[in-house]
């Protein structure tokens, strides 16, 4: 029987897709993502870059340890989401990832608005992801989880910050997670994407 030939890059994406399908109970499998190695055992050759249009359909998210994340089943802190049939819908606020005024760091903010929720406190945090040429969004920084009033502003927001490596243009995403205290909510986790030289 003849073996099946598959180029290394395609093999890597096939393995990543297989790992993503092994998500159990909304939590990522404990196996380290295979993007750390090519199919031939060589070191990871993926580098940061600008995400091409249409890459969303096949892109995979990796946490800070390189494990595949199911972005629909868990929040950034790997807490399983529960199906919400009743409850409120907060509005997650976020800005585009951008460089600081000094140019040495990049950051993104997260905040919330009440939407149709009654309570006036929510736990909010945000994480920043950078796109890599193996079609992965890799977690680069997360904020602390903060208990915030709705509305945003300089004191009512969470900040995910990361020092810039250089001035290479790459794609970044700022994801925000909102959990209203004392209410069942939809657990919105939306993102903004931007390209910047960092």
pLDDT tens column, 40-68: 455 679 999 999 988 877 899 999 999 99
Entry pTM = 0.70
pLDDT score for 56: 79
DSSP for the chain, please give it.
-PPPP--HHHHHHHHHHHHHHT-BTTB--SSPPGGGB-TTSPBP---B-PPPTTGGGT-EEE-TTS-EE-TTTB-TT-PBP---SSSB--EEEE---EE-TTSSEEEEEEEEE-TT---S-EEEEEEEEEEETTTEEEEEEEPPPEEE-TT-STTS-EEEEEE---S-EEEEEEEEEEEETTS-B---EEEEEEEEE-
CB 160 within 8 A of CB 174: yes
pLDDT tens column, 133-188: 999 999 999 999 999 999 988 889 999 999 988 888 999 999 999 999 999 988 66
pLDDT score for 154: 85
Please report where in the chains the tokens 């903004």 appear, as a residue: 192
Question: Per-residue confidence at 24, pLDDT binned at 50, 70, 90?
Answer: very low
pLDDT tens column, 53-110: 888 778 999 999 999 998 765 444 444 444 445 689 999 999 999 888 777 888 999 9
Distance of CA 163 to CAs 147, 160, 166, 184, Å? 25, 11, 9, 36
Q: Which residues pair with 135 in a beta bridge?
A: none
pLDDT score for 198: 84
Query: Which residues, in sequence order, are CB contacts of 103 under 8 Å at separation 6+?
Result: 164
Q: Which residues pair with 27 in a beta bridge?
A: 24
- Please check the confidence at residue 39 and state whether its pLDDT lies above 50: no
What's the CA gap between 18 and 179, in Å, rounded? 30
């Amino acid at each position: 029987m003849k073996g099946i030939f598959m180029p290394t890059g395609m093999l890597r994406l096939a393995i990543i897709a297989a790992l993503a399908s092994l998500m159990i109970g909304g939590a990522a499998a404990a196996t380290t993502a295979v993007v750390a190695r090519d199919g031939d055992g060589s070191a990871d050759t993926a580098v940061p870059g600008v995400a091409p249009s249409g890459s969303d359909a096949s892109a995979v998210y990796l946490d800070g340890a390189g494990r595949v994340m199911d972005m629909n089943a868990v929040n950034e802190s790997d807490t399983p989401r529960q199906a919400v049939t009743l409850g409120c819908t907060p509005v997650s606020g976020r800005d585009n990832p951008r460089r600081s005024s000094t140019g040495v760091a990049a950051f993104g903010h997260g905040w919330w608005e009440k939407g149709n929720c009654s309570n006036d406190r929510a736990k909010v945090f945000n994480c920043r992801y950078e796109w890599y040429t193996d079609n992965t969004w890799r977690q680069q920084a997360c904020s602390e989880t903060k208990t915030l009033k709705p509305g945003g502003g300089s004191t009512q927001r969470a900040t995910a910050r990361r020092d810039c490596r250089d001035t290479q243009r790459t794609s970044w995403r700022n994801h925000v997670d909102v959990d209203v205290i004392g209410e069942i909510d939809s657990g919105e986790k939306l993102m903004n994407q931007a390209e910047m030289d960092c």
